[in-house]
Every structure is written in structure tokens, then in C-alpha cells.
Structure 1
Amino acid sequence: MERKQVLVPEADLARQRDFEEKIKAMFAGRQAHPVACVDTFGCQQNVADGQKLMGMLQDCGFTLTEEPAQADLVILNTCAVREHAEDRVFGNLGALTHAKKENPEMVIALCGCMAQESRVSERIKKSYPLVNLVFGPHALWKFPELLWQVYESRKRVFSVDDEHGTIAEGIPVVREKGVKAWVSIMYGCNNFCAYCIVPYVRGRERSRDPQCVLREVRELVEAGYKDITLLGQNVNSYGNDLGIGYDFADLLADVDKIPGEYLIRFISSHPKDATKKLFDTMARCPHVAKQLHLPVQSGNDRVLKEMNRRYTREKYLELINYAKSVMPGLVMTSDIIIGFPGETEEEAMDTVSLVEEVGFDALFTFIYSPRPGTKAAEMPDPATRAEKQKWFDKLLETQNAMSAKLHAAYIGKTVRALVDGESDDPAFPLTARTEGNRLVRLKGDKALIGQFIDVRITDSNTWALYGEPV
């Protein structure tokens, strides 16, 4: 894919800024003060997209609220990865029916990965007339134009064509207050894992120019953000499409050169593209957190092949062992799917044995959820839900015991942690994160928020550490 086909021209972005001014002028002429709500579901990439939407909304003259009932414009920024997330979105649409009756001028928009699925957009078109605007991830950069079309035509607008993926630089962003920020370094995916809808809704991989990424990270550090996560569907393949001999490890090394007190994290990684060069770079770069989220999904080779993961159990363990050898104390997390179509109990227990062998600090675990349009959704799936639940419970039992044991080993130790917010526990009113991203419930004054401090760990459980400032 040539870069000229990927980057949105500056003239097209300037056109969007013109539409922002038109919308702002329209409301000024009505002496109106419009309010917008962006309700985001799903992954951190969706969070980053939502922050861009909020940036464009502010430039259109909107103020922002978290309460849909108070808004003149509600945007549901959706996720298509899990059936549960999809059900929540349709539930929220139902709830908005009452708000729209109270405020008939309310505009309701649906965007994100769900919107890009033709079956969803058709369902919205036929069964949810209250939705005024539907657009997919490819059209996010031209949101001001689409919104203007809704206001000008007073008709429903759908922008869900299967387009080439693009990169639009310079879109305004409204970031969360605090110490954490997210930076998208690439978009799309080329892997077509059998269970995953993402390549179909977010398009092929396309990497941002490294200088644009470095500039954004530098600006975040200068603005006081101290926990910055680089985002991509598969960050380990960053740069493959640039054609300049520059990969993700090179980007990490350059980010690490930015002066300041901060940590860099990244998600997600694909084991087939993880390299010793990456782990060596992590080991030597002080700003890069010694934390690795490397989704394995299954511990059985046949299931991995059916998933189209393109690595084996042995290859995964080889990667983990090397990473641990160059980064002693590395905090390891992973994603696992139990009950993939055709999986047997013995194969599911292979996954449990892998979890025991690796010694993950924590897992993100799922019972397989079929997504229409993926290869796995068409596969025979003889195991019952009850059987899958039994295997899943065994996985959780194993991991929870391991997490509790690993956390207990912190008791009595002093660790460096970033105090990132307030907690709902009066005995431990603050929250913090270790370099390995372990949650610490912390005693202390909220004046500590935003600081790296030394914390003595006094207690733990399966999910968190407890401590006090040294």
C-alpha cells in the first residue's frame, strides 16, 4: 500500500475544519449552547477514537457531558469484538428512546467497529429510526462533514462504505485529566485470526510516521502525562508498511530518548511478530515499563492453528523465557479464549497447563463468543456452554491462585509506583500502579496524585497490593 493512499491530504482536513466552523456558526445564530455526550465501549483504541471525537466536537462549539439525557448530541462509540458489548449498545439505544421523546431535536449517532458491520448498519436503518448518523472507523476523520449533513438535510446519514483505511494527522484530542494517555501508532490488522472481526471493520495495517508519534509523545510528556500507552492492533508489526527499515523496537528506542519522568507501555502484541530485538530494547530502555502483555489465546497447537495464530506453544514459551531472561521480574499478562469451536476438554487443559508453566501475573479471560462474518462463526462447535464454563472455571481457579501467590510475594518489599487517582476505600484512599501495572491501594494524601513514589507493600489479595508511602 502506497503512503499517498493512506495519509489524508491537508486540504481534506482543512475542509473538515470549515464544517466545524459552519456548525459553530449555526448554533451561534440560534443563540444555542449545544451539549454532546460521547459514550465509548471496548478497547483503548476506541477510547483514543472517542477522544478525537470530543476534540472535534469542542471545535464545533459543543460542551461535553457524561450524561446522555442532558445532551443535544449523543454518540455511541461502539465495539464489535464481543457479543456482550454489542448487546449493551442496543440496550443503550433503547434507553435513548425516552430521552429523544423529551428532546426531539436530539441527534443520536452510532460509530466505531459495530457501525462498520453491514448487518448492524442495516439493522439500525430498519429498526432504529431514532439514530440519525452512522459511521465506521474509516470515516471518523470526516465526522464534522457528516454531522453537518445531518443538520442541513434533516435526514439520516450513513457512512459505512468498505474503504481503504487512512491516517489523519492533526485531529484535535480531548484527553482525560490525570497522568495517563494513549497514543495510536498504527491502525488496522492483517492477521485475520479466525475469531476476530477487527480486520473486517478497521482495515489493513497502516503505520503512522515515526516523527508524528514521537512529537505526540513529547507533547504529552511536556504536558505532565506520566503513563503513556502506545496502541495498535498488533504493535509488533509497526513499520512493516513504511518501507524505511524501521520497526517497533526502533520506535520504542527513540521514544525512550525523550527526556522526562514517565513510563511507556504498549498493547497489543502478537507473538508471531515478537522478537528478541524487541525484548532487548525493552530491557535497556529505562522509560519502557518491564511489563509484557502477549496474548496467547490457547496452549494447544491444534487450536492455535485453527485460530490462525501462526505460532506454536513451544514458540510462545521460547519467547517468554527469553523475555524473562533479559528482564528479571518482568510482569506478564495475556489474553485467553476458552471454548473455541471444536476445542475439547483435554485441549482446554493444555491452556491451563501453559498458564501454570508461564506463571502469568494476571489474565484477561473469555469464553468464546461467535462474531458473524468471521471464519470461526461457521465452524462446528459441539461442546456445550456448561462444559465450556467448567473449563473456564478451572482456568480462573488456577490463575487466581497464582495471582494471589505472586502478589503475596510483594509483601514487605518497597516498590516504585505512580499515584494515579483516588480510591473508594477510605482505609486506602489512593490508587497507584507499579511499573508492572499492578494495582496498589495506598494510604496517603491526594496531594501525592501524579507523583512517582516509593511504596512499602503491607498486604495483598488476588487483584491488588496494599501499601503506604515510604
Structure 2
Amino acid sequence: MKITILNFGCSSNQASAEVMASVVNESEHDLIDNPNIADVIILNTCTVKATTEKKILHKIRQFGCDGKQVIVTGCMPQVQKNDIFAANRNAHLLGINAIDELTQLIDKVKIYQDNKKDKSIEVFNNSSTTILNTNRIRYNSNIHICPISQGCNYECAYCIVRNARGSLKSSDPEMILDDIKKALNDGCREIWITSQDTGQYGDDIGYSLPALLEEICSIPIDFKVRVGMMNPFSIKEHQDKLVEVFHNDKIYKLIHLPIQSASNRILASMNRKNTIEDVNEILSAFKSNFKDLTFFTDVIVGFPGENDKDFEITVNWIKQHMPDKVNISRYTPRPGTQASSFRNLDSRTIVDRSKHLHQVCEDIKMESKEKMIGWKGEVFVSMPAKINGFMARTPSYKPVIIKQAKLIPGNKYVVEISDAVPGYFIAEVIQ
């Protein structure tokens, strides 16, 4: 059978999709990129946002109407089986811990298809499994995504991920190191450390993220490390050690620290286990140590109970701290979460606030980018650019497009930034 994999969501999902691609490729079936001619569509799903959920449910329904066999995996089967079957009663479900059973599931699907049997197959595994040290077909041969844990020990009122992924389960540090060494031996030179919250890593096994990063950076090969999202409340006690290990040249000077709101009243309602003052302290520690720090954050606009003053506090905080990137989400209730029972704001208010914050962020982004024009320094070439040339990263992970044609991913070059556009900088090699 011809099989296509469509991936949605976070970098952990991307890693899972890479493993599934390898599983299909090693089977008797054919992995293809074109869903229009595929017999089977594997949808690796995300359900963090309602907009993504609706898009996926539409595809589940449409592919079924087109006569395709549909396998739904990722987070949605864990928490939204009824929604999936409402869209396509014959969809097949693969749990997030059952990727190693994908080949058997596909074989059963083929038998059902050959016998024109309309029936759903469900494959779940309640035990936690890992995709570390497994074969992959990477979307970028230079980048290895390493999921260091799964799940979360906190219960933010709006978040469905805990319901889908369960409580925190950290991988053994030796398994992680073996996984990274294997990727480096495969030729990868950029390692993405990821999970639902990297800051929580080790809390359940008596270990910590700073200790893991020290071990990773001790591997005697030249490579770069991107540390994934860390919630403020999960790194407060490790703050000093984290700053210390970030001084290692192998680690990109990037922190992704979601605030969700700058109003302490709303943070309490969200059941976030930190105040905005905690965030300010963490930011201050990183910025005082790394003058060129890149800072990403997330904001939820229109959370139930958010008034004009709360929103203004968040806007002013963004203007003051000038994040390099802000992921803005319009609040939508997620099934099974505490906030799903809260009274929602008028949708027009949420839209207006979202548009205003987007504009504020765009103005900030261009202002900060213009300050980088004329910068000279060493960059790390990550991958071929989508249009032409190569995508590279500064030591603080700022994106740079170099239009020369003969660069090698994984190598370093000295460049000068000559221009800035909304998504990246433009530079030329000077050495």
C-alpha cells in the first residue's frame, strides 16, 4: 500500500513522525508524499488549539469520504475518540505509546481494505514507551530531535496536554546520551532537546535539566544544542545552574519561556504556578549573562475573566521586554480541562485583542531586527533555505539566510548581516 504521513503540532510530534516514516519505509509498504494517490493516510495529531483540531477533523472526514484508510495517532486519540469517530466512523486509532505496533496495524488495515471490511481498529498501550535510539527518516538530515520526557506534572486550567500525555515520565539520561551520540554518528550537527516542558526533566527520577545539558555538552564533537520550551514554574529552582550551563558554546542562547499572561490575577486563574515577577527574575538572570539572548514567549489572549486592565498589563509587559517571538493564541476551551467550565469572553473582544497584540509584536520585531543590521560574527549553517541559499543561526539562534550556493550544513561561517525582513536576516559570508 502507498502511505502518506501528515504531521501536526510540536517538535515531539515531528520526532514521532520521523520514526513512523522509518517504520513504514522498512516495511513492505511504500512511503510517499502525495496524499492524493495514497491508500493510507497517517495523521499525527495535535489538540492544543481548537483551530488545529478543526483542521484535522476536516481532513479525517474528507480522506474517509475519498475512500482512504485513515490512521489517527498523536494526542487526539487519547482524549477525543468520539470526535474522531463522528468525523469518520472507520478511522483507525494508534495511541501515542504504540508507535512500535504501527507495522502490525497497517497490515491489519490492508486485510480490511482487501476484504472491503468497514471497521475501526484501535491500538493503545498504557505503558510509557520511548522513541529514543530508533531509526528515523529526518525532515532535515542535519537536525536531530531528542524527546527527553513525556507528560507534565502540572495542571494549567486551559491545557489538554496533561490529559493526553499523562504525568511526567523522564527518559534515562544514559538513553538520551546514547540517542544523541547515535544521531551525531549519523552526521547530525544540531540537536533539539524537546518535551512538553523541558524544564521539568528529571523531577520524577531525581535528576535535572542542567545536569543533563552538562552531560550532553561534554560529548567531544562540535555541534549545537537548542533547548526547547521551559515553563517559568518548572525552572525556578534550577535557574542559577541553568544559566551556568548555558554559558557552554554548544548551547544556543535562546530561551522559550511562556508567560501566557502578565497579569498575576489571570495567572492564578490559569493555575500557573508562578507570578510574572518570577518570570522577570528568570529573564533578568539570563539577559544579564547573555547580552544577545533570544527570547520566545507564548500568550493566551481572552482567557475567561481577562478584563481590559489585565490585557493592558500583558501588552505593556511585551513592550517592555520585547520578545523576539510571541506565539499568540486566542483562547478556546479544550474538552476535559478545568477552564472548559469557565464563562468565555465575547469572541469579538478576543479577536480585537489578538489583532492589537499582533501589531504590537510586529512593531517590536522590526525595531529589534534593524539593530542587527551590520552585525558580524560566526553562524552555524542549519539547512537549505526554502527558497534559495541556506538557513543559518547566530549563537543566539537568530535566523539568517545566506544566498551563496556552496555552503555545507553543520559548518560555521563568518558573515555580515546586510538586511532584515519580518522572518529572518539576510547575510553574506565574509570569511
Deviations 1:43-79 (A, max 9, x none): 1111111112112222322331111122232101110
User: Equivalent residue for 1:108?
Assistant: 70
Deviations 1:258-299 (A, max 9, x none): 122211012120101213234333333111111111111110
Q: Which amino acid aligns with 1:59?
A: E
- Shift of the 60–305 alpha-carbon distance from structure 1 to 2, 3 Å rule, reads same
Q: Is the 8 A contact 2:256 2:296 kept in 1?
A: yes
Question: What is the rounded CA distance, in whole Å, between the counterparts of 1:440 and 1:456 in structure 2?
Answer: 10
Equivalences for residues 79-228 of structure 1 within 5 A: 79-97=46-64, 99-100=66-67, 106-117=68-79, 120-131=80-91, 133-151=92-110, 155-159=119-123, 163-167=126-130, 170-228=133-191
Does 1:36 find its partner at 2:3? yes
Q: Which amino acid aligns with 1:260?
A: I
User: Equivalent residue for 1:30?
Assistant: none
SS of equivalent to 1:292? strand
- Shift of the 414–193 alpha-carbon distance from structure 1 to 2, 3 Å rule, reads same
Q: Is the 8 A contact 2:190 2:410 kept in 1?
A: no
- Shift of the 156–391 alpha-carbon distance from structure 1 to 2, 3 Å rule, reads closer
SS of equivalent to 2:287? helix
Question: What is the rounded CA distance, in whole Å, between the counterparts of 2:105 and 2:188 in structure 1?
Answer: 32
Pairing partner for 1:231 from 194, 201, 204: 194
User: Equivalent residue for 2:210?
Assistant: 249
Question: What is the rounded CA distance, in whole Å, between the counterparts of 1:423 and 1:170 in structure 2?
Answer: 28
- Shift of the 123–389 alpha-carbon distance from structure 1 to 2, 3 Å rule, reads closer
Pairing partner for 1:436 from 396, 418, 426: 396
- Shift of the 83–446 alpha-carbon distance from structure 1 to 2, 3 Å rule, reads farther
Q: Which amino acid aligns with 1:370?
A: P
Pairing partner for 1:401 from 343, 360, 363: 363
Deviations 1:349-373 (A, max 9, x none): 1111111222211111111121111
User: Equivalent residue for 1:343?
Assistant: 306
Pairing partner for 1:451 from 396, 402, 411: 411
Question: What is the rounded CA distance, in whole Å, between the counterparts of 1:72 and 1:411 in structure 2?
Answer: 50
Question: What is the rounded CA distance, in whole Å, between the counterparts of 2:256 and 2:133 in structure 1?
Answer: 29
Q: Is the 8 A contact 1:418 1:432 kept in 2?
A: yes
Question: What is the rounded CA distance, in whole Å, between the counterparts of 1:379 and 1:349 in structure 2?
Answer: 22
User: Equivalent residue for 1:267?
Assistant: 228
SS of equivalent to 1:138? coil
CA-CA distance at 1:340 after TM superposition: 0.5
Does 1:66 find its partner at 2:33? yes
Question: What is the rounded CA distance, in whole Å, between the counterparts of 1:93 and 1:125 in structure 2?
Answer: 9
Unaligned ranges ≥5, structure 2 = none
User: Equivalent residue for 2:268?
Assistant: 305
Q: Which amino acid aligns with 2:18?
A: Q
User: Equivalent residue for 1:326?
Assistant: 289
Question: What is the rounded CA distance, in whole Å, between the counterparts of 1:276 and 1:219 in structure 2?
Answer: 30
- Shift of the 65–84 alpha-carbon distance from structure 1 to 2, 3 Å rule, reads same
Question: What is the rounded CA distance, in whole Å, between the counterparts of 2:110 and 2:155 in structure 1?
Answer: 38
CA-CA distance at 1:417 after TM superposition: 2.0
Question: What is the rounded CA distance, in whole Å, between the counterparts of 1:297 and 1:123 in structure 2?
Answer: 27
- Shift of the 237–97 alpha-carbon distance from structure 1 to 2, 3 Å rule, reads closer
Q: Is the 8 A contact 1:441 1:466 kept in 2?
A: yes
- Shift of the 420–349 alpha-carbon distance from structure 1 to 2, 3 Å rule, reads same
Unaligned ranges ≥5, structure 1 = 1-33, 101-105
Does 1:295 find its partner at 2:262? no
User: Equivalent residue for 1:363?
Assistant: 326
User: Equivalent residue for 1:413?
Assistant: 375
Question: What is the rounded CA distance, in whole Å, between the counterparts of 1:325 and 1:447 in structure 2?
Answer: 34
Question: What is the rounded CA distance, in whole Å, between the counterparts of 1:463 and 1:398 in structure 2?
Answer: 16
Q: Percent identity?
A: 25
How many residue pairs were aligned?
423
CA-CA distance at 1:219 after TM superposition: 1.8
SS of equivalent to 1:269? coil
- Shift of the 386–126 alpha-carbon distance from structure 1 to 2, 3 Å rule, reads closer
- Shift of the 466–312 alpha-carbon distance from structure 1 to 2, 3 Å rule, reads same
Question: What is the rounded CA distance, in whole Å, between the counterparts of 2:243 and 2:382 in structure 1?
Answer: 28
Q: Which amino acid aligns with 1:74?
A: I
CA-CA distance at 1:152 after TM superposition: 5.0
Question: What is the rounded CA distance, in whole Å, between the counterparts of 2:386 and 2:150 in structure 1?
Answer: 36
Deviations 1:13-56 (A, max 9, x none): xxxxxxxxxxxxxxxxxxxxx32211111111111111121122
Q: Is the 8 A contact 2:253 2:290 kept in 1?
A: yes
Question: What is the rounded CA distance, in whole Å, between the counterparts of 2:175 and 2:4 in structure 1?
Answer: 29
Q: Is the 8 A contact 1:349 1:391 kept in 2?
A: no
Q: Is the 8 A contact 2:143 2:190 kept in 1?
A: yes
Q: Is the 8 A contact 2:198 2:230 kept in 1?
A: yes
